[in-house]
Amino acid sequence: MGDSPIRILSVGTALPGPPVDTARLAECFGMDQLWRQWVDTFIGTRTRYLSVDLASGEVRHDLADLGESAATQALARSGISAEEIDVMVLGTATPDTLMPATVNVIADRLRIDGVPTFQLQSGCSGAVQAFDVASALLATGRHRTALVIGGDVIAKHYNVKADLSALPPSELVNYLLFGDGAGAAVLTAGDRPGAPVVRSVLTRLSGLDRRPGQTLRWYGLADRDSAEAPASEDYKAIEELVPVLAEEVAEELLDDLGWDRGEVDYLLPPQLSVTMTEKIAKRLDFPRATEISCVGDTGNNGNALLFFQLDRLLREMTMPSRAIAVAIESSKWIRSGLALERV
Partner 1 sequence: MADVLSREEFVLLLQDEIGFDITADDLRLTFDELPEWDSVHLLTMLVLLERRVHRPLSLPDFLDAASLESIYEMVTR
Q: Cα–Cα distances in Å, from 108 out to 101, 112, 161, 303?
A: 11, 6, 35, 21
Min separation Cβ 175 and partner 1, Å? 12
242 contacts partner 1 (rule: CB under 8 A): no
Q: Which of 9, 11, 26, 31 binds partner 1 (CB under 8 A)?
A: 31
- Pick 40 or 248: Cβ nearer partner 1: 40
Q: What is the DSSP letter of 41?
A: I
Min separation Cβ 237 and partner 1, Å? 12
Coil, helix or strand at residue 309? helix
Stretch that binds partner 1, among 31-39, 58-66, 261-269, 304-312 (CB under 8 A): 31-39
173 contacts partner 1 (rule: CB under 8 A): yes
Q: How far apart are CA 343 and CA 25, in angstroms?
A: 44
In the shown chain, the binding pattern of residues 133 to 172 toward partner 1, with x for contact by CB under 8 A and - for none, equals --------------------------------x--xx--x
- Pick 236 or 288: Cβ nearer partner 1: 236
The radius of gyration of the chain from alpha carbons, rounded to an integer in Å, stands at 19
Coil, helix or strand at residue 112? coil
Min separation Cβ 38 and partner 1, Å? 4
Encode 112-150: b = buried (16+ Cβ within 10 Å), e = exposed. beeeebbbbebbbbbbbbbbbbbbebbbeeebbbbbbbb
Q: Counting Cβ atoms within 10 Å, is residue 43 exposed (0-12), middle (13-18) or buried (19+)?
A: buried
274 contacts partner 1 (rule: CB under 8 A): no
Residues in touch with partner 1 (CB under 8 A):
31-35, 37-38, 41-42, 165, 168-169, 172-173, 235-236
